[in-house]
Structures are given as structure tokens and as C-alpha cells.
Structure 1
Amino acid sequence: MLIKKGDRNILVDTGEGFYDEENAGKLVYSLTAAGFTPESVTDILITHAHRDHIGGILSKNGDFVFPNAHYYISSQEFEFWTSDEPDFQKSKNPEGGKPSIPLVRKVLSAINSRLTKFEMGDQLFSCIQTEAAPGHTPGHIIYTVNDGDLSITNVVDLFHSPLLIAKPHWGTQWDIDFATGIDTRKKVLENCYQNRTLICSAHLPWPGIGYINKVNDQFQWIPKVYNNPFSINLKIDQKAGTV
């Protein structure tokens, strides 16, 4: 997600980067197509430090992909990954998270001089409200972007599939605290349902924007209807009345 706020171009996470060039790593091309350059990105909000969210910060050569950007991460997330022994024992796959540690520390070290830590619940840039959503990672945040009466909440990795909306007591092997992830997911789903919140997520089916509904006490994903505009050249024969 890219948020334009005055002269700030605020990018939320950076995707997988070069780690999966076959299926990912297309962010820079998408930004360029939208009229933005990597140099024009002023700020990057890190929602959490999994590879598919920070992998695009550095190039394969270790250079900054976004050379002018300043970075923001929750204090809880930073402290978890930089602690002596990050604890994965509450995960369904306690050994699965450990290989991520060197990558995360390498990236956080590289951006340390450009990094601001915030507390979950802080407001950023006067338009982004952060909210604690622990479980997937200890410092995992979701956030709401506000513009007057309009708002959209990015739920990030609370659910990776509509299945986890219908079955919030399920989870993934990447949830560092599996039980907390379930509690957080249920709470946010109920709030989104009650408040008719427009939400988005990179892991839900394209375009990943919609609402949470509930039928017979089961949550369900309702995608927002959208148009896919394309141009058609029309040649009109006024005499014949045909197109």
C-alpha cells in the first residue's frame, strides 16, 4: 500500500524482494507503473519483520532499494527480533521461525540509522492509526488510514486466506504465538463486522479489499465490488446506427 500525504509518499512494507523473483519482487515495477520511483518514497512503515514484508528493503547487492526512505517499526517487534533468544515456543512450528532471524537482523541493522520505533497505538503522519495485533508476531500491527470521513483498515497478516476468516480458530505455522493469534483474529473480526469496516490485506484474493460479514455466527469475507477499466476504441456509423 502506498499512501500519499502532502509531500510524503508512505509505503507500507516492501514485499518479498529478490528472495522470490518468480512469484514476487514486482513492487518496484508496480510503483513505476503508478507514476512513482523508488527515490520518491519518503517513508516506509514496517508492519512486522517477516521476509515477505521486509525482503524488498535491500537489493541482492545489499543496497537500499528506496534510497531516500525513513523507516518505522513498533518497539515490540524490534525488541523481539533483536533479543538474545527470540522465543518461538508458542508457535505450532517452534523451529520454523529461527531461520528468519539472521535476515531480519541484517535488515534492521542496515536501516538502524534511518529507523524510528513507535508504540502500538501511536498515530503516524496524522492520518495512520496503529493498533496492536499480536500473535502472528509479537509486534505485529494493523493500521487504519483516515482521510476525513473515509477510512480503510489494513489487517496485514491477521488472515492469509478467507478460510481464516470463516475459521478464526485456525492459524498458520508462521504465527509465533498461535493462541494469541486466534484471540486477536476473533477480536478484530468482530470489531470489523460490528463497525462495517472497509478492510484490505495483501494476502486475501485480489484486490484484497472488502468487508467482514457474519451468517449463523460464522464470519465470511465479502469482497468489495470493483471495476477493471480498459479502453475500447469505438467507430460509430451514424447513418447505419451501428457501432
Structure 2
Amino acid sequence: MDTGLMFFRFAVGALECVVVSDGQPEPPWEPSLEDYFPAVPGDVLRDACHGRSTLTCGYNCLFVSTPDGMAVVDTGLGASFLGYGEYIEPLVGQLEGGMTSAGLSRSELAAVVFTHLHQDHSRGAIWSGDVRFPVATAFAHASEVAFWSASVDLPSAQPHLEAARETIRLYGEKLRPFEYDTEILPGVRALAAPGHTPGHSAIMLQSRGERLLCVGDTFYDPLQLTNPTWSTPWDLDAPASIASRRHLLERAADEHILIHAYHLPFPGLGHVERRGTTFTWHPISS
């Protein structure tokens, strides 16, 4: 698979959309499920995985053509990234190449919407030491901006601190904090999804009776649909993240809303179905 040239076009009503991959490491570089769910007993994890030991971690950035211009929801890790080890550098940072392949121009991008400011969602916008989308206005939840701007002592937050603060600094007055249940752009609304980070947001697209729910890091793997109480070490408030996950999954299942899942295998699009108190994932093939 050529991770640098993956893009997938679709539409939500009148909103033209493109998922562009920033990368999707394949075996032997897929991360271990034990690293994502260390609190789950080994035998329980093995039974739930049915022999699988790794997680396919994609970085699926969503472009949306709105009446106010082209916007992107989350921006990947960016080029020259070594934070997970040297092996990762050629496997991620593919966003701009994918944009070119898809006919998208970074110089014309009007808006960058962050579900949250973790480095794998924000660094793609600032990795060069300057904003990569020079005319874009940036949007992040007010609590997210406040959290990363203050003293951050939580160990699991430390790897993300530099990118978050640099994003806030570089965008400056062009960073617009928002509140939940706010229409950021025409047809683009922020929904509450706190827990993973204090201002973690879901993004709902809506046009002509069609909807798409971007869930950010509400879940990393389908295992968190069949086991909604499983949290990762990066969920800063685990109980809140579980509550957000249940709420969003219930709504998506009951209202038959298409989901965009940032970290699921490319393109990260699919539907969820209720199975009692749990859920199942039905991906849309690219």
C-alpha cells in the first residue's frame, strides 16, 4: 500500500468531502494492542482480539468543501516526525502529498478544525515551524486551548505538549476558540466529546438531510465498540471519555449517522450497530 497517495472522495449532501491519509503503518510497524489497553487483563484482551495482537492505526484527515471555503478536520503528524521512533518517519507525514494527488491546495485552505490538540492531530499544521496553511483560520474548543496553555503535569499529556502549544502560538489571533453545540462553519457543528482531552470535540457535518459524525479519538479500534468501557493511556479523564463514547455511539447507531473515525483503517468511514449494550463496526470500503 502506498500510504502517501491514499484519498477517498464522497459527499454529505451538498458538502463535497475527501479523506486524505497522513499515513497508516502496516506490519511489522503496527502498534501493540497491549500498549493501547494496558489495564485490560491479558487473557481478556486475547479472547476479545480473536488472535489479533496489533492495532491498525490510521491518520485519516477529512477535507470538507463548505460555503465558506475548504476546511480540514485534523492534520496528522506532519513530516520529519520521530516521536515514536525513527521507523515512523517515512510512514507518516503524507498529508500534503495526498492533498496534491487529490487536487487540494494548502495555500487555499480556508479553515483548520481540530478535534483536539494532540500532536497526531495538530502537528501536520505546524511541523515546519510555521503554519502550513497560510490563509486558514484555526478552530479548537476553548477548554482545549486553555488546558494546553496552562501548566500541564499529567505524564500522558507530555508528548503532546510541544505541538499543542506551538499550534496555539503560531496561529495566534487566527485561532478561534469555540464552545460545544456551535456551528463553526456552514454545515459544520462542534459537539461535546470531552474526556480524551478536556476540550475533545466531535464534529457533525450536515447538509440536505445527510449527516457525518467525525469522532476524533472517541475510539481507536473496533474493540472499543464491543468493549465501550476500555480506555487508553491517553484518555486524560477515563470516566468522561467512556461517557462520551457511549453517548456518541448510541446517537450514531440510533440515528443511522455515518461515522468518520480518525484512527481506524483508511478511510475510517462506516456505521455502527447496537448489540445490546455494545456496538459493532461496519466499515465502508475504499
Report if TM-score (shorter chain) is over 0.5.
Answer: yes
- 1:108-156 per-residue CA deviation (whole Å, 9 max, x = no partner) reads 1111121111111111222011101001001000011111111111111
Q: What SS does the corresponding residue of 1:111 show, helix, strand or coil?
A: helix
Aligned partner of 2:142: which letter?
A: S
Q: Percent identity, aligned pairs only?
A: 31
Distance 1:32 1:67 in 2: 16
Q: Does 1:63 align with 2:124?
A: no
- Correspondence list, 1:52-201, <5 A: 52-60=120-128, 62-83=129-150, 85-86=151-152, 88=154, 95-201=155-261
Greater share of residues in helix: 2
Distance 2:217 2:160 in 1: 17
* TM-score between both structures, scaled by the size of structure 1: 0.85
- Higher-Rg structure is 1
Higher relative contact order (CA 8 A, sep 6+): 2
- Residues 193 and 29 (structure 1 numbering): CA distance in 2 closer, same or farther, change over 3 Å? same
Distance 1:87 1:221 in 2: 35
- List alignment gaps of at least 5 residues for structure 1: 89-94, 229-243
Distance 1:40 1:187 in 2: 35
- List alignment gaps of at least 5 residues for structure 2: 1-61, 82-87
The farther-off stretch of 3-12 and 140-149 is 3-12
- Correspondence list, 1:4-19, <5 A: 4-6=65-67, 8-18=69-79, 19=81
Aligned residues: 218
- Residues 157 and 72 (structure 1 numbering): CA distance in 2 closer, same or farther, change over 3 Å? same
Aligned-pair Cα RMSD in Å: 1.5
User: How big is the shift at 1:216?
Assistant: 4.3
- Residues 103 and 124 (structure 1 numbering): CA distance in 2 closer, same or farther, change over 3 Å? closer
Q: Does 1:33 align with 2:33?
A: no
* TM-score between both structures, scaled by the size of structure 2: 0.72
Q: What SS does the corresponding residue of 2:125 show, helix, strand or coil?
A: coil
Segments of 4+ in structure 1 off by > 2 A? 85-88, 214-218
- Residues 41 and 176 (structure 1 numbering): CA distance in 2 closer, same or farther, change over 3 Å? same
Aligned partner of 1:201: which letter?
A: A
